[in-house]
Amino acid sequence: MTEDVSPAAAQPDKKPAKNEDNFFVFITKLVLIVVIFRSFIFSPFNIPSESMLPTLANGDYLLAAKWPYGFTSDSLPFGAPLIPGRILGSAPERGDIAIFKHPVDGTDYIKRVIGIPGDTIAMEGGQIILNGEPIPKEPMANFEIAPSPNTVCHVMSEKVVQEDGSTVCNYTRFRETLPSGETYEVLDFGPQFQDNFAPIIVPEGEMFVMGDNRDNSQDSRFPAEPQGGVGLVPQDLLLARATFIMWSTDGSAEWLLPWTWFTALRTERLGNGL
Protein backbone atom coordinates (compact mmCIF):
# COMPACT_ATOMS: atom_id res chain seq x y z
CA MET A 1 0.00 0.00 0.00
CA THR A 2 1.48 3.35 -1.02
CA GLU A 3 1.15 6.53 0.90
CA ASP A 4 -0.24 9.53 -1.02
CA VAL A 5 2.10 12.52 -0.54
CA SER A 6 0.99 16.00 -1.75
CA PRO A 7 3.50 18.20 -3.63
CA ALA A 8 3.32 20.80 -0.89
CA ALA A 9 4.22 18.23 1.71
CA ALA A 10 7.11 16.99 -0.40
CA GLN A 11 8.85 20.38 -0.47
CA PRO A 12 11.35 21.03 2.33
CA ASP A 13 10.67 24.01 4.55
CA LYS A 14 12.32 27.20 3.24
CA LYS A 15 14.13 29.32 5.78
CA PRO A 16 13.18 32.99 5.68
CA ALA A 17 15.93 35.28 4.45
CA LYS A 18 17.92 36.92 7.20
CA ASN A 19 17.51 40.64 7.73
CA GLU A 20 21.27 40.98 7.27
CA ASP A 21 21.04 39.37 3.81
CA ASN A 22 18.17 41.63 2.77
CA PHE A 23 20.07 44.73 3.91
CA PHE A 24 23.23 43.67 2.06
CA VAL A 25 21.26 43.13 -1.17
CA PHE A 26 19.58 46.52 -0.76
CA ILE A 27 22.91 48.32 -0.23
CA THR A 28 24.48 46.51 -3.19
CA LYS A 29 21.62 47.53 -5.49
CA LEU A 30 21.72 51.10 -4.21
CA VAL A 31 25.46 51.40 -4.81
CA LEU A 32 25.07 49.93 -8.29
CA ILE A 33 22.29 52.40 -9.16
CA VAL A 34 24.35 55.35 -7.90
CA VAL A 35 27.43 54.22 -9.85
CA ILE A 36 25.45 53.81 -13.07
CA PHE A 37 23.69 57.17 -12.58
CA ARG A 38 26.92 59.08 -11.87
CA SER A 39 28.90 57.32 -14.60
CA PHE A 40 26.46 57.47 -17.50
CA ILE A 41 23.63 59.94 -16.77
CA PHE A 42 24.30 62.87 -14.40
CA SER A 43 27.11 63.64 -12.01
CA PRO A 44 27.53 66.50 -9.51
CA PHE A 45 30.44 68.90 -9.80
CA ASN A 46 31.43 71.86 -7.66
CA ILE A 47 33.02 75.11 -8.82
CA PRO A 48 36.22 75.96 -6.91
CA SER A 49 37.24 79.18 -8.68
CA GLU A 50 35.92 82.37 -10.27
CA SER A 51 37.15 81.73 -13.83
CA MET A 52 33.56 81.26 -15.09
CA LEU A 53 31.95 84.30 -13.44
CA PRO A 54 29.24 85.52 -13.90
CA THR A 55 27.83 82.22 -15.19
CA LEU A 56 29.33 80.09 -12.43
CA ALA A 57 30.60 81.25 -9.03
CA ASN A 58 32.92 79.66 -6.52
CA GLY A 59 30.60 77.59 -4.30
CA ASP A 60 28.15 76.60 -7.04
CA TYR A 61 27.22 72.92 -7.21
CA LEU A 62 25.92 71.80 -10.57
CA LEU A 63 24.62 68.72 -12.31
CA ALA A 64 26.45 67.77 -15.49
CA ALA A 65 25.14 65.43 -18.18
CA LYS A 66 27.53 62.55 -18.85
CA TRP A 67 26.07 61.22 -22.12
CA PRO A 68 26.44 64.15 -24.59
CA TYR A 69 30.14 63.53 -25.28
CA GLY A 70 30.23 59.75 -24.84
CA PHE A 71 32.06 57.71 -22.24
CA THR A 72 35.65 56.79 -21.40
CA SER A 73 37.32 55.18 -18.41
CA ASP A 74 37.43 58.66 -16.88
CA SER A 75 33.62 58.47 -16.72
CA LEU A 76 33.85 55.62 -14.20
CA PRO A 77 34.61 55.83 -10.46
CA PHE A 78 38.35 56.14 -9.84
CA GLY A 79 38.95 56.02 -13.60
CA ALA A 80 38.50 52.26 -13.70
CA PRO A 81 40.09 51.06 -17.00
CA LEU A 82 36.99 49.23 -18.22
CA ILE A 83 36.11 51.28 -21.32
CA PRO A 84 38.47 51.11 -24.33
CA GLY A 85 38.87 54.59 -25.81
CA ARG A 86 35.64 56.60 -26.15
CA ILE A 87 32.28 55.00 -26.88
CA LEU A 88 29.09 56.70 -28.12
CA GLY A 89 31.10 59.89 -28.49
CA SER A 90 29.74 63.14 -29.90
CA ALA A 91 31.57 66.40 -30.58
CA PRO A 92 30.90 69.48 -28.43
CA GLU A 93 29.14 72.51 -29.85
CA ARG A 94 30.22 76.12 -29.61
CA GLY A 95 28.81 77.63 -26.44
CA ASP A 96 28.78 74.38 -24.45
CA ILE A 97 30.05 74.64 -20.88
CA ALA A 98 32.27 71.57 -20.88
CA ILE A 99 33.96 69.69 -18.06
CA PHE A 100 37.17 67.96 -19.09
CA LYS A 101 40.46 66.62 -17.78
CA HIS A 102 43.42 68.98 -17.84
CA PRO A 103 45.74 67.78 -20.64
CA VAL A 104 48.78 67.72 -18.33
CA ASP A 105 47.84 67.19 -14.69
CA GLY A 106 44.48 65.43 -15.16
CA THR A 107 42.45 67.68 -12.83
CA ASP A 108 38.85 68.54 -13.72
CA TYR A 109 38.45 71.88 -15.52
CA ILE A 110 35.32 73.68 -16.68
CA LYS A 111 35.29 76.20 -19.54
CA ARG A 112 33.11 77.34 -22.43
CA VAL A 113 33.73 75.83 -25.87
CA ILE A 114 34.46 78.68 -28.31
CA GLY A 115 36.17 76.89 -31.20
CA ILE A 116 35.57 73.45 -32.74
CA PRO A 117 37.64 71.59 -35.37
CA GLY A 118 38.22 73.67 -38.48
CA ASP A 119 37.49 77.00 -36.76
CA THR A 120 39.99 79.83 -36.91
CA ILE A 121 40.14 81.71 -33.60
CA ALA A 122 41.84 85.04 -32.95
CA MET A 123 41.40 87.88 -30.46
CA GLU A 124 41.78 91.61 -31.00
CA GLY A 125 41.37 94.07 -28.15
CA GLY A 126 39.40 91.56 -26.08
CA GLN A 127 36.99 90.68 -28.90
CA ILE A 128 36.94 87.15 -30.31
CA ILE A 129 37.35 86.82 -34.06
CA LEU A 130 35.72 83.57 -35.18
CA ASN A 131 36.42 82.48 -38.75
CA GLY A 132 37.24 86.05 -39.70
CA GLU A 133 34.09 87.59 -38.14
CA PRO A 134 34.05 89.42 -34.78
CA ILE A 135 31.72 87.85 -32.23
CA PRO A 136 29.29 90.58 -31.12
CA LYS A 137 30.18 91.88 -27.65
CA GLU A 138 27.54 94.21 -26.23
CA PRO A 139 27.87 96.16 -22.94
CA MET A 140 25.47 95.23 -20.12
CA ALA A 141 24.73 96.51 -16.65
CA ASN A 142 27.63 95.73 -14.33
CA PHE A 143 27.66 92.40 -12.51
CA GLU A 144 27.59 92.55 -8.71
CA ILE A 145 28.29 89.81 -6.20
CA ALA A 146 28.67 90.06 -2.44
CA PRO A 147 32.11 89.23 -0.99
CA SER A 148 32.13 86.12 1.21
CA PRO A 149 34.43 83.25 2.21
CA ASN A 150 33.85 81.91 -1.33
CA THR A 151 34.06 85.25 -3.13
CA VAL A 152 36.95 87.70 -2.96
CA CYS A 153 36.79 90.93 -4.91
CA HIS A 154 39.43 90.76 -7.63
CA VAL A 155 42.03 93.51 -7.47
CA MET A 156 40.80 94.73 -10.86
CA SER A 157 37.17 94.94 -9.71
CA GLU A 158 35.47 97.88 -7.99
CA LYS A 159 34.12 97.64 -4.45
CA VAL A 160 30.79 99.42 -4.19
CA VAL A 161 29.05 100.32 -0.90
CA GLN A 162 25.29 99.97 -1.24
CA GLU A 163 22.57 101.99 0.51
CA ASP A 164 22.23 99.43 3.31
CA GLY A 165 25.95 99.68 4.05
CA SER A 166 26.88 96.32 2.50
CA THR A 167 29.70 96.02 -0.02
CA VAL A 168 29.58 94.27 -3.39
CA CYS A 169 32.22 93.41 -5.96
CA ASN A 170 31.40 95.29 -9.17
CA TYR A 171 32.52 93.94 -12.57
CA THR A 172 32.19 95.26 -16.11
CA ARG A 173 29.92 92.87 -18.00
CA PHE A 174 29.24 92.15 -21.67
CA ARG A 175 27.03 89.82 -23.67
CA GLU A 176 28.56 87.73 -26.46
CA THR A 177 26.52 86.03 -29.16
CA LEU A 178 27.85 83.15 -31.25
CA PRO A 179 26.83 82.61 -34.90
CA SER A 180 24.41 79.89 -33.76
CA GLY A 181 22.54 82.45 -31.65
CA GLU A 182 23.94 81.04 -28.40
CA THR A 183 24.38 83.97 -26.03
CA TYR A 184 26.10 84.29 -22.66
CA GLU A 185 27.64 86.88 -20.34
CA VAL A 186 31.34 87.59 -19.83
CA LEU A 187 33.37 89.82 -17.52
CA ASP A 188 36.21 92.03 -18.73
CA PHE A 189 38.70 94.03 -16.62
CA GLY A 190 39.94 96.09 -19.58
CA PRO A 191 43.09 95.81 -21.73
CA GLN A 192 45.24 92.80 -20.83
CA PHE A 193 48.10 91.05 -22.62
CA GLN A 194 45.92 87.97 -23.29
CA ASP A 195 43.34 90.12 -25.11
CA ASN A 196 45.26 89.77 -28.37
CA PHE A 197 46.56 86.70 -30.17
CA ALA A 198 47.15 85.67 -33.78
CA PRO A 199 44.73 83.34 -35.58
CA ILE A 200 44.76 79.70 -34.46
CA ILE A 201 43.18 76.88 -36.46
CA VAL A 202 41.54 74.27 -34.22
CA PRO A 203 42.78 70.82 -35.33
CA GLU A 204 40.54 67.80 -35.81
CA GLY A 205 39.60 66.17 -32.51
CA GLU A 206 40.43 69.24 -30.40
CA MET A 207 38.64 72.34 -29.08
CA PHE A 208 39.41 75.91 -28.05
CA VAL A 209 37.96 76.83 -24.65
CA MET A 210 37.74 80.05 -22.65
CA GLY A 211 36.50 81.14 -19.24
CA ASP A 212 33.63 83.64 -19.08
CA ASN A 213 35.70 85.69 -16.61
CA ARG A 214 38.02 86.60 -19.45
CA ASP A 215 40.84 88.23 -17.51
CA ASN A 216 40.82 85.70 -14.67
CA SER A 217 40.93 82.38 -16.53
CA GLN A 218 43.71 80.00 -17.51
CA ASP A 219 42.34 78.55 -20.75
CA SER A 220 43.25 77.82 -24.38
CA ARG A 221 44.96 81.21 -24.70
CA PHE A 222 47.75 79.82 -22.52
CA PRO A 223 50.06 76.83 -23.10
CA ALA A 224 49.07 73.63 -21.31
CA GLU A 225 50.98 73.31 -18.04
CA PRO A 226 50.18 71.86 -14.61
CA GLN A 227 47.65 73.97 -12.66
CA GLY A 228 47.70 76.51 -15.48
CA GLY A 229 46.60 76.96 -19.05
CA VAL A 230 45.12 74.11 -21.04
CA GLY A 231 46.10 74.95 -24.62
CA LEU A 232 44.01 73.30 -27.33
CA VAL A 233 42.12 70.54 -25.51
CA PRO A 234 41.72 67.04 -27.02
CA GLN A 235 38.05 66.10 -27.14
CA ASP A 236 38.99 62.68 -25.75
CA LEU A 237 39.41 64.44 -22.38
CA LEU A 238 35.76 65.52 -22.25
CA LEU A 239 33.79 64.34 -19.20
CA ALA A 240 30.39 66.06 -19.19
CA ARG A 241 28.32 69.09 -20.18
CA ALA A 242 27.08 71.42 -17.43
CA THR A 243 23.28 71.64 -17.26
CA PHE A 244 22.05 73.58 -14.21
CA ILE A 245 23.02 74.80 -10.74
CA MET A 246 21.44 72.69 -8.00
CA TRP A 247 23.02 74.39 -4.96
CA SER A 248 25.10 77.46 -4.24
CA THR A 249 26.75 78.55 -1.01
CA ASP A 250 28.78 81.63 -0.09
CA GLY A 251 31.07 79.48 2.06
CA SER A 252 29.97 80.77 5.46
CA ALA A 253 28.14 77.58 6.52
CA GLU A 254 29.44 75.42 9.38
CA TRP A 255 28.68 71.69 9.60
CA LEU A 256 27.91 71.82 13.31
CA LEU A 257 25.49 74.75 12.90
CA PRO A 258 22.74 73.43 10.58
CA TRP A 259 20.92 76.77 10.30
CA THR A 260 23.99 78.26 8.62
CA TRP A 261 23.50 75.80 5.73
CA PHE A 262 20.53 77.97 4.75
CA THR A 263 21.84 81.42 5.70
CA ALA A 264 24.82 80.72 3.42
CA LEU A 265 22.56 79.69 0.54
CA ARG A 266 22.61 81.92 -2.55
CA THR A 267 18.99 81.32 -3.56
CA GLU A 268 19.17 83.59 -6.61
CA ARG A 269 21.53 81.09 -8.26
CA LEU A 270 19.52 77.92 -7.64
CA GLY A 271 18.13 76.24 -10.72
CA ASN A 272 19.95 78.50 -13.17
CA GLY A 273 20.23 76.68 -16.50
CA LEU A 274 23.61 76.56 -18.22
Averaged pLDDT, groups of 10, the chain, 274 residues long: 45 58 81 84 94 97 95 81 83 97 96 98 97 97 95 92 91 97 96 95 98 97 96 96 96 94 94 94
Confidence (pLDDT) at 176: 98
Confidence (pLDDT) at 198: 96
User: Which of 181, 200, 185, 1 lies closest to 120, judged by CA?
Assistant: 200
Confidence (pLDDT) at 223: 97
Confidence (pLDDT) at 27: 84
Which are the contacts of 168, defined by CB distance < 8 A and separation ≥ 6? 144, 145, 146, 147, 159, 160, 162
Confidence (pLDDT) at 7: 47
Residue tagged active-site, from 66, 111, 157, 248: 111
Confidence (pLDDT) at 15: 57
Confidence (pLDDT) at 38: 83
What domains are there in the chain, each with its CATH number? Answer: 20-128+197-269 (2.10.109.10)
Confidence (pLDDT) at 122: 98
Characterise 22 by phi-psi region: left (phi > 0), alpha (psi -120 to 50), beta (else): alpha
Confidence (pLDDT) at 39: 84
* Encoded amino acid at 96, one letter: D
Q: Is the dihedral of CA 37, 209, 108, 155 positive or negative?
A: negative
Parallel, antiparallel, or unpaired: how do β-strands 127-130 and 120-124 relate? antiparallel
Characterise 172 by phi-psi region: left (phi > 0), alpha (psi -120 to 50), beta (else): beta
Confidence (pLDDT) at 29: 84
pTM confidence score: 0.87
Is 51 one of the annotated active-site residues of the chain?
A: yes
